[in-house]
């Protein structure tokens, strides 16, 4: 039998970090799949998009609670991403996700494969180019 543990998107219980930590601990879990989070003084945002000061608050709060992040549920390639728009902002978000995952010791970053959009033109070449760049970034 391989070692296993339970984890989940705690933001489904509430966006606030303290709620996510409380629910995780009440379930007897030691890890969160961190996606969206709200900390005092900042708006709710995906972990890779919140300001650095908010991220530092997350790091401190998780550390004090003894809760780790095993995976970041990124917004990369999700329904809000437009494959026809420039990749610069999204690649910058991927860079932040990679740095923050390393800082938190997260082993995984969840990425989606972009919305289908027009079935007659799936933009496969661009879709796969972007995903290859993201994978290469995370592999480093």
pLDDT digits (tens, 9 = 90+) for 64-87: 999 999 999 999 999 999 999 999
Residue 100 CA to residue 81 CA, distance in Å, equals 21
Angle at 77 between CA 75 and CA 78, to 5 degrees: 60
Domains with residue ranges and CATH for the chain: 10-139 (3.20.20.150)
CA-to-CA dists, residue 43 to 37, 107, 110, 134, angstroms: 8, 26, 22, 26
Say which range, 43-52, 82-91, 117-126, 130-139, has the weakest mean pLDDT.
117-126
Average predicted confidence (pLDDT) for the chain: 94
pLDDT at 108: 95
Q: Is 66 helix (H, G, I), strand (E, B) or coil?
A: coil
């Amino acid at each position: 039998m391989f070692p296993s543990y339970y984890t989940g998107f705690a933001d489904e219980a509430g966006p606030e970090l303290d709620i996510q930590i409380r629910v995780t601990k009440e379930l007897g879990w030691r890890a969160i799949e961190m996606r969206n989070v709200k900390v005092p003084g900042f708006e709710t945002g995906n972990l890779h998009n919140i300001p650095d000061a908010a991220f530092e608050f997350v790091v401190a709060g998780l550390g004090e609670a003894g809760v780790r992040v095993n995976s970041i549920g990124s917004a990369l390639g999700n329904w809000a991403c437009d494959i026809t728009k420039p990749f610069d902002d999204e690649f910058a978000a991927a860079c932040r996700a990679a740095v923050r995952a390393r800082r938190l010791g997260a082993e995984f970053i969840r990425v989606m494969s972009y919305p289908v959009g027009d079935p007659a033109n799936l933009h496969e070449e661009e879709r796969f180019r972007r995903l290859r760049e993201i994978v290469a970034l995370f592999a480093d």
